[in-house]
Amino acid sequence: MKGNPMSRRRILRTTAPLLAVALLAACGGTTQGDQDDGGGPGGTDATADPNAEYRTGLSVAMLPKSVNNPYFEASSSGAESVVNELEGAYEYTGPSDASASSQVSYIDTLSQQATDVVLLSANDPNALCSSLEQARGGGTVVVTFDSDVDPGCRDLFVSQVDSDEVGLTLLEMTAEQIGGEGEVAVLSATANATNQNAWIDAIGAELESNADYAGIELVDVVYGDDEDEKSFSETQGLMQAHPDLKAIISPTTVGIAAAARYLSGSQYQGEVALTGLGTPNQMREFVEDGTVAEFALWDPTALGELAAYTGAAAASGIITGAEGEVFTAGDLGEYTVGADGVVTLGPPTRFNADNIDEFDF
């Protein structure tokens, strides 16, 4: 024993676990195609009582993608006002980095605290599922907003807009600004951002099927990862890679602001159209200096309000998430639950030089 060369023991130590797992492997393989049966809790068995009142004293927590983001601050203020109105307890909590694994820890904490309603904007459609299932197992109502998870792991999703409608609005604005003809490119958030991809798909489908857009060609999709600096240099790269580019569509608030800043300081200002989704406060300057003619967005505060009402309605038994259920979301009016438990806020608002000063968010 003493005389053994140490490296042999070391090799043994590092390979022992490998051998153990390899033995397991002999029992047969699990591959991607295999059927997976545990589908998670689908719909609840409970029945909805459309005439029930909103419960008071609910504990509601909003968990954004990351806490240092003004967009979610605006949503949070909306949700908070609703929760206060319903005499509930409100908390805004989350990681400072937009990663799925940090969100999991926060979900675990919220389920440990037996929070009644979690309003979540997810960093990954799948990574949060098992934590969410545990939380829901403990009676927490999970409502996603802004960015969804797999429909099986939440109760309802409050969508800012209908995916197709965003794509169409963006394309319509672009076509108006470039006269219906020319090369366009998309500056998106991350490549696996659920909603951005849905909108880009809608744009692509419409370009193919609608004869009005026959002259428009989508030449590139680049990703700024919702980081200011990266979006900035990706815009720069787009201009160099595509000399004939007529327009950039950026369906993310970080991206459009960075792209506008690049364009406004470059020779392309006014030459290359820029549109997309942005907040009026960030874009005001660029609308004034002529870099941007028109862009769109929904009201994030209203989105937060609707998410809070939806969560409270589900926790009060007014809705269960089944298609066709109707509830009243305070001043926002009446909403109907769509397929897959989706509640949609409404069409995006367009902002241009004429109306931008009416908005402050």
Partner 1 sequence: MSTLVKSTANVPAAKTGSTALDLVLRFRALGLVIALAALIAATTAVNPRFLSAQSLRDLLFAAAITVLLACGMTVVVLTRGIDLSVGSVLGLSAYVTASALSESGAATPVAMLIGLAVGAACGALNGAVIHFGRVPPLVATLGTLYVFRGTVYFLAGGSRINASDLPRGFLDFGNGTVLGVPYLFCVALVVLAAVGVFLGRYRAGRDLYALGSNPEAARLAGIRAGRRLMTAYIVSGALAGLGGVLYAARFGTVDASAGYGLELNIVAAVVVGGVAIFGGSGTVLGAALGALLLAVINNALPVLRIDQFWQQAIVGALILAAIALDRLVSLRASRALRTKGSHVD
Partner 2 sequence: MSTKLRDTAAVRLLTTWDAAIIAATVVFLAAAAQTVEHFGTARNAGFIVLDLAPILILALAMTLVVTTGEIDLSVASTVGLTSAAMGVMWNAGIPLETIIPAAIGIGACLGAVNGLFITGFGLPSLAVTIGTLALYRGLAYVLLGDTAVADWPRAFTGWTLGTVGETAIPNVLIPMAALVAVFGIVLHATAIGRSIYASGANPVAAAYAGIAVGRLKFWLYVTSGAMAGLVGVLWTLRYSSARADNAYGLELTVVAVVLLGGVSIFGGRGALPGVLAAVVLLTALQNALRLAHVSTEALTVVTGSLLIAAVLAPNTANAIRGALRARRSRTA
Q: Give the footprint of partner 1 on this chain (CB under 8 A).
A: 67-70, 72-73, 96, 222-223, 227-229, 232-234, 236-241, 243, 257-258, 261, 265-267, 281-282, 284-285
Parallel/antiparallel/unpaired status of strands 294-297 and 141-145? unpaired
CA proximity to 147, closest of 81, 90, 71: 71
> Residue 118 phi/psi, 5° resolution?
-115, 125
What sign has the CA pseudo-torsion 147, 336, 305, 253?
positive
Distance CA 322, CA 336 (A): 10
Amino acid residing at 53: E
Place of tokens 């989508």: 218
Selection from 349, 346, 344, 347 nearest residue 359 by Cα: 349
Is residue 8 near partner 2 by the rule CB under 8 A? Answer: no
Question: Is position 108 an interface residue for partner 2 (rule: CB under 8 A)?
Answer: yes
User: What residue type is 100 in one-letter code?
Assistant: A
Is 22 a binding residue for partner 2 by CB under 8 A? The answer is yes
User: Shortest gap between Cβ of 304 and partner 2 (angstroms)?
Assistant: 19
* CB closer to partner 2 out of 152 and 347: 152
Sign of CA dihedral 137, 320, 145, 189: positive
Q: Which is nearer to partner 1, 108 or 288 (CB)?
A: 288
Q: Which is nearer to partner 1, 71 or 335 (CB)?
A: 71
Query: Least Å distance between CB 61 and partner 1?
Result: 15
Is 347 exposed, middle or buried (CB count within 10 Å of its CB: 0-12, 13-18, 19+)? middle
Q: For the CB of residue 96, give the shortest distance to partner 2 in the complex, in Å.
A: 5
DSSP symbols for 53-68: PPPSS-EEEEE-S-SS
Residue numbers 121-140 binding partner 2 by CB under 8 A: 124-127, 129-130, 134
* Residue 240 site contact among partner 1, partner 2, none (CB < 5 to 8 Å, cut-off depends on kind): partner 1
Name the CA dihedral angle for 240, 241, 243, 249, rounded to a multiple of 10 degrees. -90
Minimum Å distance from CB 40 to partner 2?
Answer: 9
For residues 266-325, which are near partner 2 according to CB under 8 A?
A: none
Distances (CA, A) of 56 to 86, 87, 106, 192, 352: 5, 5, 24, 38, 41
Question: How near is the Cβ of 261 to partner 1 at its closest, in Å?
Answer: 6
Per-residue contact string for residues 174-203; x = within reach of partner 2 by CB under 8 A: ----------------xxx-----------
Binder of residue 83, out of partner 1, partner 2, none (CB less than 5 to 8 A by kind): none
Which helix (H) or strand (E) segment holds residue 285: the answer is: helix 280-288
- Contact between 21 and partner 2 (CB under 8 A)? yes
Residue 56 vs 352, nearer CB to partner 1: 352
Phi, psi of 42 (to 5 degrees): -80, -115
The CB-of-269 to partner 2 minimum distance in angstroms stands at 30
Binding track, positions 36-65, relative to partner 2; x by CB under 8 A: xxx---------------------------
3-class SS letters over 241-256? HCCCEEEEEECCHHHH
Which residues contribute to the site for partner 2 (CB under 8 A)? 2, 6-7, 9-11, 13-14, 17-18, 21-22, 24-25, 27-34, 36-38, 67, 91, 93-97, 99-101, 104-106, 108-109, 112-114, 124-127, 129-130, 134, 190-192, 223, 225
